[in-house]
Amino acid sequence: MSSLAPTTAPAPLRALTALDDFSEDMYGVNVVEVTNKGIVSVAIPNASKAAFSKAVTKSYKVDLPEVGLFTQSKTNNTRFLGLQQDQLFVLFDYAGDRAVDEISAKVNSDKQLVYLSDQSDSWVTLNVSGENCLAALERICSIDIHPDSFPVGSVARTSMEHMATIIIHESEGSYLLLSLRSFAHSFLHAVTTSIKNVS
């Protein structure tokens, strides 16, 4: 630590990713930390449902998802995750600090329709894909993610190894796993242990 008192304005803050941009190909499973995503939760009062749905269709050209599914828009690669009856998550490409403003501008301009909350820093996101991926997930995921039951386009909130997890089947054989950021190291450990154990 410097012993001299700085006289100038402080340097801008440095952002860290939860897992130092972890990326590894292990025994046929590719595990990559996904970064630069905005995550915004949207709470939708019953009365606003229709209007909000319209706003989304207008700005993003997609419908709102049913619970358990996501819809995907080309705009910023945005996914609307149907997590709860009156709440969804918006997951999109974004590197800034003001994810709420980003969404608000598009779908909540009058600030009254829905309630937004920034979740971008709340989650660590892993992308797992590859041949042994399902076998590895079988060790920690209690819900049925066989492609027949959990096809591409599905999302579920569950827990793995005592950690809250959102699992997204984003494309054929490729899954996004979101867990709470403070658990990042334990979560990664759970995933990589599974991969090792089934190798």
Partner 1 sequence: MIINHPLLGPRDAAEFVYLGDASLMNRPEWKGEDASEEQTEKTLDAYHDYLYIRENKAGEHKELWYHEQGDRSWLVVTRHTISHEITKVELARDVAVANGNKS
Partner 2 sequence: MSQVNRLNSASKSTSINREKMFSFKFNGQTFQGYEGDTLASALLANGQILVGRSFKYHRPRGIFTAGSEEPNALIHLRTGAHQEPNARATVAELFNGLVATSQNHRGPLKYDLMAINDLMSPFLSAGFYYKTFMWPKVLWEKLYEPVIRHAAGLGELSKLDDPDIYDKGFLHCDILIIGAGPSGLSAALAAGQAGSRVILADEDFQMGGRLNSETYEVAGMAGSEWVSNTIDALAAMDNVRLMKRTTVIGAFDHGIYSAVERKTDHLLQSDGKPRQVLWKIYSKHAILSAGSTERPIAFPNNDRPGVMLAAAVRSYANRWEVTPGQAVSIFTNNDDGWRTATDLAAKGVKIAAVVDSRSIAPLAEFPGAHIEMGTEVVNTSGRHGLQTITLSNGKIIDTDCLAVSGGWNPNVHLSCHHRGIPQWNKELLAFVPGGELPPEMYVSGAANGDLSLASAIKSGHDIANKLSKALGHKGRVKACAKAENESTANSDFWFVKTDTKNRSWVDLQNDVTTKDIVLAQQEGFNSVEHVKRYTTLGMATDQGKTSNLPAMAVMADNAGKTIPEIGTTIFRPPYTPVSMSTFAGRSRGKDFRPTRLTPSHQYAEKQGAVFVEVGAWMRSQWLPKTGETHWRESVDREVTQTRNSVGMCDVSTLGKIDIQGKDAGEFLNRIYCNTFATLKVGMVRYGLMLREDGIAMDDGTTARLTETQFVMTTTTANAVSVFRHMEFCRQCLWPDLDVHLISATEQYAQYSVAGPNARKLLEKVVDKEFDISNEGFPFMACGEISVCGGTPARLFRISFSGELAYEIAVPTRYGVSMMEALMEAGSEFDSVVYGTEALGVMRIEKGHAAGNELNGQTTAHNLGMGRMVSKKKDSIGNMLSERPNMVKDDANRLVGFFPVDKSNNLNAGMHFMTTGKEANTANDEGWMTSVAFSPSLGHSIGIGYIKNGHERTGETVTAFNGLQDNTMEVEIVSAHFIDPKGERLRV
Interacting residue with partner 1 among 32, 135, 164, 198 (CB under 8 A)? 164
72-101 residues in contact with partner 2 (CB under 8 A) are 86-87, 97-98
Q: Select 80 or 183, whichever has its Cβ closest to partner 2.
A: 183
Cα dihedral across residues 141, 35, 174, 199: positive or negative: negative
Q: Decide whether 69 or 180 has the Cβ nearer to partner 2.
A: 180
Q: Report residue 125 as tokens.
A: 């996101």
Torsion, CA 15, CA 24, CA 154, CA 190, rounded to 10: -90
Collapsed DSSP state (helix, strand, coil) of residue 142: coil
3 binds partner 2 (CB under 8 A): yes
Q: Which residues, other chains included, contact 90 with Cβ-Cβ below 8 Å and sequence gap of 6+?
A: 38, 39, 40, 41, 42, 78, 79, 80, 81, 103
Q: Is 1 in the site for partner 2 (CB under 8 A)?
A: yes
d(CA 79, CA 65): 9
143 touching partner 1, by CB under 8 A? yes
Chain residues that interact with partner 2, rule: CB under 8 A: 1-6, 9-17, 41, 43, 45, 86-87, 97-98, 115, 117-123, 138-144, 146, 149, 161-163, 180-187, 189-190, 193-194, 196-197
Chain residues that interact with partner 1, rule: CB under 8 A: 67-68, 83-85, 87, 142-143, 156-159, 164
